[in-house]
Amino acid sequence: MNRSLLITSALCSASLLAYASNSTAAIPDPAILSELPAKETDKVSIHAKNRPATEVFADIMRQTGKNFIYQTDLLRGLNVTVNANDASLKSVLAQMFDGTGITFKIQKNNILLSRSKEIVRKQRKYVVSGFVREAETGEALAGATVTCSSTKNGVFTNAMGFYSISIPEGECQLTVSYPGYAPEKLPAFTLSKDRQMDISMRENAQTIKDVVVIGNKNRTVALETAGVGSLNVGKNTILNTPVVFGESDVIKTLQFEPGVSAGIDGMAGMYVHGGNSDENMYMLDNIPLYQVNHLGGLFSAFNTEAIRNVDFHKSSFPAKFDGRLSSYMDVHTKDGSMSEHHGSARLGLTSGAFNIDGPIWKDRTSYSFAIRRSWYDLLTIPIFAIYNAISEDEKTSTNYAFTDINAKINHRFNNRSRGYLMFYYGEDYLRVSQNWDKDKADAYWDEEKSNLRWGNIVASAGWNYMLTPKLFGELTGAYSRYASRLEHSKADGYNEGNIPTNVTSDKMRSDNHIDDWILKADFDWSPHQSHRINFGAGYTLHSFLPSLTTRTLSSNEVNSVVKDRVSTYRASEFNAYFGGDWRPADPLRVDYGLHFSLFHIGGKNHSNLSPRLSLRWQPAKDWAVKAGYSRTVQYVHQLIQSSISLPTDQWVPVTNDQKPQTADKIFAGAYYSFGKGWTVSVEGYWKKMRNLLEYADEYYLLSPETDWTKKLTAGKGSAKGLDFKISKDFGALSGHIAYSLMWADRQYADKNGGKPFPARFDNRHKINVLLNWKINKKWEMSAAWTGMTGNRITLPTQCWQDPALAPWNYDMTLATEVNNYRLPFNHRLDLNFRRYNRRGYWDFSLYNAYCNMSTIGVQRDYSDKFDYNTGQYNFYRVFKKIKLIPVIPSISYTWLF
């Protein structure tokens, strides 16, 4: 027998290769059962009843001279029954294996055995689950890919780094990949039960002859997922975008994406796919914020040093998101390192920042703290001191500053459970004062002061738990408040000597705030390796105070107080959602979802269902096409009185007399990835919006006591366009070129004669070029060029004067169409040079490098011309362009420790 095994082993090697290419199961340890044949024939006579299969094989081998090859565990415990007289080998084998799920194949002198395809499909599976984290800090890595070698199927980790993958029993090896990190190939293991495996990954900063290899998660998102218009932005991407005053900003980074407009050039606003500025949902660790602007929109409220990463969606929206029409941006803050302390301090010309994170209890509890503050107020003190010393009559001062504080504590109870506490505080204040002759003796004087404060407070607590290897849950409770207060006063009097007399004053205070109490539960379930389901529910209690104005008139110490009759609106919002990521077949991937929302206010319920569906077809590894539909609903609106969002603009809910805003969107895209990190994409969309609210024409003529609901008008709008992007994320030079083509319009019954008209931010063409160049180990350069078709404004087409008011005639104007004039094309170039040293880096920036000041509006003004024939001045109206932001150089230093 030993000699027979030696002879047959050589013969089996070639047949094993052929078998592996045709069999549904690999044979890592084949058993070869053979005998020295007595004769070679295909006829068999055998009688066996419930005998071990291996004994029957021995009889067949003696009669036929053929060898059996099979996996060792294939026949474990198998008994067979067979009755045959001079029957063919094929019929005997068929009788033996009938109903056993074993198939056979006769190849020359070998009989190859394997499980049938149906049995392979029904093979018992187990679940491998766990968390993927960064090795140095313990931070969760959201969107990492976990792949099993035996099935070649992979899954993505969720926002908490959790993954769950179903794998057939047997040998397996997991591979984990994440852009910018070294791939982790775990040791092979035999799977015979459910197993938890937590995985740590290390950053992979490769520099080979000054060629940088960086990862791009968005290339994976574009090809592997079904979502259209989804983007993940990391902290390094934000830091590598050229900045103004040394302040990197996530919203300004997103403005370089196709389909996203700044509205007013240079501001940190967002207008996405023809929508309004209040149609974007800004979230901090999944908690909504209402006002996210500093300095009138020059900066956003998100401190880059506190950010881990940002998820942005502009077309296909996850089922859990609703409440805004155009986009959703979720900023995930840092949890803090579980192993060692890290930090940085930045000093710039107009602001500074400090952040630190590290372990409180090593490998169990961590903290993260970040603060930034501007010092415009400190810079203006000497400027106004010099001015006031020179000026004899007028004294003036202006103070402005903003502050952001982020804090977080993260605790790991065990390898299945984690909890956290998060706090955010952001505030702006602006103080302006002027007086004339107030310090003079025996003189009349007057004074005017304005104080404006606005800001957000957010406090949240979360607990997440791996309930089962396939089910992950998170419970969140939060409180969020946005408030603004405007105080304005005017006073005048007479100084008898140095004592003020006959003082009269007019003081006004206006308050506006929103309070939200939030409770929600979210679940992530993986019933199958090709199907992932998300579901959850939430409740929010809203309290709105749109505007409470108090006016105090005082004359000779006699006060008169007048208050607006403004109600506080309380509303309850309930939502529930169900969605999933499903791969029914290899080229096809489906994202589906349904979001239910109920908004209760004033005894009335507004309820809506928002379906979402996205399909991806990927016939090859390097390209894919997608299409989908989404519906969104918005119950809260911002009433904007100017071209930019101001802190005094009111946020109001729908009422009994209004319907919530809705948007239906159809979208499609094509994506192709080719060599050395190049990716190209084209996305198209069509969006229909209904019940859009804005102030009616001449609302300001109504009495101040008129309720705000009577000042509004409702209409509809539409937007359509194409987004094109080509990007490169490999090598010393990386970046992207983006182009957007868009049409956006609005239609209101009482505007423009009821006819459609272009939206204010109907920016037909927009081009962005963003480049990052690693010159060498010490120097990097980034450049960003943006060009955009100008905004729309309304200018009068007819103008006349009343002769009775000559010579200072007041214009009587008429505009035949709304938004009938387009402002000039705006463009600018921003540059940033970064130099690294041992302890940190310097940033040298030029904002608007060639000083092309953007036109943001048109102002009507008087001009005069002297007529020498009549000896009189002729007055006439002129239009003057309002331009904003010249070239701004800045320098900052960031110290890392």
Residues near 533 by beta carbon (within 8 Å), at least 6 away in sequence? 524, 525, 526, 527, 578, 579, 580
The CA-atom distances, in angstroms, between 610 and each of 320, 523, 683 are: 10, 19, 22
Tokens coding 677:
């990190």
Per-residue confidence band for 557, with pLDDT thresholds at 50, 70 and 90: low
pLDDT per position as a tens digit, 205-259: 543 333 344 445 555 567 778 889 998 888 888 988 887 777 889 999 999 999 9
For 332-896, CATH number out of 1.10.760.10, 2.40.170.20, 1.10.10.10, 2.30.30.100 equals 2.40.170.20
Q: Check if the beta carbon of residue 168 is closer than 8 Å to that of residue 152.
A: no
Tokens coding 697:
């024409």
DSSP letter, residue 274: T
Return the residue matching tokens 């239009």. Answer: 879
Check residue 186 and give its pLDDT: 87
Is 89's pLDDT higher than 60? yes
Domain boundary assignment for the chain: 2-117, 125-204, 216-331, 332-896
Check residue 647 and give its pLDDT: 74
Percent of the chain at pLDDT exceeding 70: 87
Check residue 656 and give its pLDDT: 84
Residues 82, 87, 91, 95: what is their CA dihedral angle, to the nearest 10 degrees?
Answer: -10
- DSSP labels for 824-872? PPEEEEEEEEEEE-SSEEEEEEEESTT--PEEEEEEEEEEEEEETTTTE
Check residue 566 and give its pLDDT: 66
pLDDT per position as a tens digit, 748-790: 988 888 999 999 999 999 999 999 999 999 999 999 999 999 9
Return the residue matching tokens 């539909």. Answer: 629
pLDDT per position as a tens digit, 473-509: 999 999 999 999 999 888 888 888 778 887 888 888 8
Packing angle of the helix pair 89-96, 53-64 (nearest 10 deg):
180
Check residue 600 and give its pLDDT: 96
Q: Mean pLDDT throughout 374-384?
A: 85
pLDDT per position as a tens digit, 132-163: 988 888 888 888 889 887 777 788 888 888 99
Q: Mean pLDDT throughout 262-283?
A: 87
Q: Check if the beta carbon of residue 526 is closer than 8 Å to that of residue 155.
A: yes
Check residue 705 and give its pLDDT: 64
124-138, 343-357, 653-667, 751-765: range with lowest mean pLDDT: 124-138
> Is 125-204 a CATH 2.60.40.1120 domain?
yes
Indicate the average pLDDT of the chain.
84
> Is 216-331 a CATH 3.40.930.10 domain?
no
What is the Cα 709 distance to its own chain's centre?
33
Is 23's pLDDT higher than 50? no
d(CA 615, CA 593) in angstroms, rounded, equals: 12
Check residue 563 and give its pLDDT: 67
What single-letter amino acid sits at 1? M
What single-letter amino acid sits at 160? M
Class of domain 2-117: alpha beta
Pick the more confident residue, 872 or 396. Answer: 396
Check residue 38 and give its pLDDT: 38
Is 627's pLDDT higher than 60? yes
Is 192's pLDDT higher than 50? yes
Tokens coding 124:
């018992």
Check residue 287 and give its pLDDT: 96
Return the residue matching tokens 């607990």. Answer: 463
Check residue 395 and give its pLDDT: 84
For residue 617, give the 3-state DSSP assignment. strand
pLDDT per position as a tens digit, 804-819: 665 555 667 777 889 9
Pick the more confident residue, 705 or 85. Answer: 85
The strand pair at 79-88 and 184-185 is best described as: unpaired
